[in-house]
Chain A
């Protein structure tokens, strides 16, 4: 009853012409920056922050939120079309999405991504409306020990991301983790592996690495066999997912939504794990896991849903406790402060029109996004028929602009170029790059949490198993590891997952 009146209040706020307009503006801008490689929502929100000065608090947050989840929709587009994920989360989409595009099924991949995202976004919005407050307590149950165990579980599960040799996947995870060590040690403030380069004090840029090893390396690879030009797939069969596609995707979308919704609530990096976790689950549950990495639609539907659900529920800790889950959320906290609203438990009670208006606008925004994105698919797919010698300089230029826009740092461009080359060499040697990116993102997080847990417990490792939630996660990790290491399974694995290219 109370919920209905709250949602009605929210809808009233959200459908006022101004708010509706800025919700659309935000969603559209988000889609655009999501599509442009490298230019992420964080840079866009930072740029638009001063403009929100003049708006009402509701309008400003509705627009900024629109940019954020709009970018989640848009980010998958380049990942699918040109193997260029703008963020770590869409790197998962690129695995099977890009293969689908190569098979002429780009339309189906983009369509299922949009549909999955919409379903996930709508469900997650309802979860926020119903359970925001109880879920806050769940978020607080996760301390350093729990986060460490969760990420460890994620890393072990992520070997499922590789469709080739397990050993090579592990090597890539470790290399990624090592690259993640570069920068300032958080506990002692000492510089690690910076070799006197001041720009490395804050570590290597994630965007530069992601765009480099995926996008730029892919360009090298394509130019190598320019004659065959496999990028501009000529035969594009159908712009929409077929009935069979939808049937195959229904369960992955539901599971992805559930996984993303739960993980998104954890401000310490849950949303980041969502798409990886969903992919691992889908591959484990699939009747024929060998299809993964070769254009399985489940590998797009699940992670995309998980990603969008996580993006939505990560608003919960921000709105109820003022805890931002990522850089974009931190900027939204700033936007609220500028408006004189202290993000925290009082927002729901003191500013119900803001809280419920934002939630209602999220659902409207998701609807706008699916309506906006489905017709765009035709245009995106046609982009593939642009001759590659015209397309690739454009991709490089946009990538460079995007990478530079993250921190206005020239050094990031060197990183981009270097990792383009590294990515190319690794692909030539038969290594996959998604585990590398995963190790790079999760490694430093895992280190931070482990060391934080160790300082809290004064160096007693049993702390990790005496905390019940952490112990449960570690037990799950151990059983998964056994499953992976069982000789019979391994043998079957290497038979099934022989590298094809």
Chain B
């Protein structure tokens, strides 16, 4: 009996020592950052630019792994189940905060209970775009035009429950519009029907919108941000257009499984904050239409996540699009 207790205590003590030691010696091996979406997206592009610097700072290679499936839930779940030793990260973004409202029953992770926030490193925006030949000049005219259509207008969404879908639902709620959502598997497939005028509206990622607007193939009515977009400085913000609650910026960040040592979280956070103030990062992010975030603490990023979870829950509820 005594032996067992001794063994148990010493085992426990050893485990504690090991955990502390591992936090001190961390990182001692390669780190994986899982992006739960198909490869080639904006989030992956920005993450790759960032981890180049983080890897130099932390002294270990960081591998970006794309693990797509079920709107990001496959990869996110995998990170939730991984060992909380700081060697597995999740590339978190807006869908991380919307899924819990969309699938309250079937979602097998909680963005707040199963994960610890580390830092956010970049933001990107969506733009309200319409086909070039739609007879409207600005958002006001557009709203009047859609109202005159009496429910015949459609808009493109990149899949049910996607940010594009939810953001447009929010716009519809705010402006009192009636438009039917046409679902597409991602943003690029939707662009073709938008260009051809089969759908009248899309909240399109600025990385896709900017070149088409510049070429005169699409019109941009507003940018969903508090400040104008550097690529298209003539396009007003939603705040200027009178819809400040539509400034729904999209963010990219890092989460780790709950239970990861605080010291490890702090080290990653410091490395991220060091990287995002580098002019080189800002410049390379800008090429993919991503803005580097302001330096932030894990608490600040956690607060952003909680605010987003609440925001999307409200939108999902008002639009009645829960899927469980």
- A and B together in one complex: yes
- Say whether A333 contacts B40, CB under 8 Å: yes
The digit string for B63-102, where 1 denotes a CB below 8 A from any CB of A, is 0111111100110010000000000000000000000001
In the bound assembly, the distance between CA atoms of A126 and B40 in angstroms comes to 28
In the bound assembly, the distance between CA atoms of A324 and B39 in angstroms comes to 13
Q: With a CB–CB cut-off of 8 A, which chain A residues contact B68?
A: 202, 407
Q: With a CB–CB cut-off of 8 A, which chain B residues contact A456?
A: 154, 180, 182, 198-199
- Say whether B198 contacts A49, CB under 8 Å: no
Query: A40 in the interface, Cβ–Cβ < 8 Å?
Result: no
Query: B287 in the interface, Cβ–Cβ < 8 Å?
Result: yes
- The secondary structure that dominates the B interface is mixed
Q: With a CB–CB cut-off of 8 A, which chain A residues contact B182?
A: 452, 455-456
Interfacial residues of chain A within 170-200, with CB under 8 A of chain B in the complex: 184, 186-190, 198-199
Interfacial residues of chain A within 309-347, with CB under 8 A of chain B in the complex: 317, 321-324, 327, 330-335, 337-340, 342-346
A-B CB pair tally, cutoff 8 Å: 137
- Say whether A321 contacts B192, CB under 8 Å: yes
Number of chain B residues whose Cβ lies closer than 8 Å to a Cβ of chain A: 56
- Say whether A184 contacts B207, CB under 8 Å: no
Query: A156 in the interface, Cβ–Cβ < 8 Å?
Result: no
Query: B44 in the interface, Cβ–Cβ < 8 Å?
Result: yes
Q: Name which of A78-86, A137-145, A370-378, A482-490 contacts chain B.
A: A137-145
In the bound assembly, the distance between CA atoms of A408 and B38 in angstroms comes to 12
Q: With a CB–CB cut-off of 8 A, which chain B residues contact A190?
A: 323
- Say whether B40 contacts A267, CB under 8 Å: no
- Say whether A321 contacts B40, CB under 8 Å: no
- Say whether A344 contacts B39, CB under 8 Å: no
In the bound assembly, the distance between CA atoms of A201 and B76 in angstroms comes to 14
Q: With a CB–CB cut-off of 8 A, which chain B residues contact A327?
A: 38
- Say whether A323 contacts B191, CB under 8 Å: yes
Central interface residue in B65, B77, B193, by most chain A CB within 10 Å: B193
- Say whether B198 contacts A322, CB under 8 Å: no
Q: With a CB–CB cut-off of 8 A, which chain B residues contact A339?
A: 287
- Say whether A189 contacts B323, CB under 8 Å: yes
Q: With a CB–CB cut-off of 8 A, which chain A residues contact B267?
A: none
Q: With a CB–CB cut-off of 8 A, which chain B residues contact A144?
A: 193, 198
Of B42, B185, B208, which one neighbours A322 at CB under 8 angstroms? B208
- Say whether B70 contacts A202, CB under 8 Å: yes
Q: With a CB–CB cut-off of 8 A, which chain B residues contact A267?
A: 189, 192
The digit string for A28-63, where 1 denotes a CB below 8 A from any CB of B, is 000000000000000000100110010000000000
Residue of A nearest to B68 (CB): A407
Query: B284 in the interface, Cβ–Cβ < 8 Å?
Result: yes
In the bound assembly, the distance between CA atoms of A46 and B192 in angstroms comes to 24
Nearest CB of A to B67, in Å: 7
Nearest CB of B to A330, in Å: 5
- Say whether A334 contacts B44, CB under 8 Å: yes
In the bound assembly, the distance between CA atoms of A345 and B213 in angstroms comes to 10
Q: With a CB–CB cut-off of 8 A, which chain A residues contact B198?
A: 143-144, 456
Query: A268 in the interface, Cβ–Cβ < 8 Å?
Result: yes
Q: With a CB–CB cut-off of 8 A, which chain A residues contact B249?
A: none
Interfacial residues of chain B within 130-171, with CB under 8 A of chain A in the complex: 152, 154, 159-161
Besides A143-B198, A334-B45, A407-B68, 6 other A-B contacts (C-beta < 8 A): A187-B160, A189-B161, A338-B48, A344-B212, A346-B211, A456-B154
Query: Which A residues contact B (CB, under 8 angstroms)?
Result: 46, 49-50, 53, 139-144, 184, 186-190, 198-199, 201-202, 267-268, 317, 321-324, 327, 330-335, 337-340, 342-346, 407-409, 448, 452, 455-456, 458
Query: Which B residues contact A (CB, under 8 angstroms)?
Result: 38-42, 44-45, 48-49, 64-70, 73-74, 77, 102, 108, 152, 154, 159-161, 180-186, 188-189, 191-193, 195-196, 198-199, 207-208, 210-212, 214-215, 217, 284, 287-289, 321, 323
Which 3 A-B residue pairings sit nearest by Cβ, starting from the closest?
A334-B40, A340-B287, A344-B211
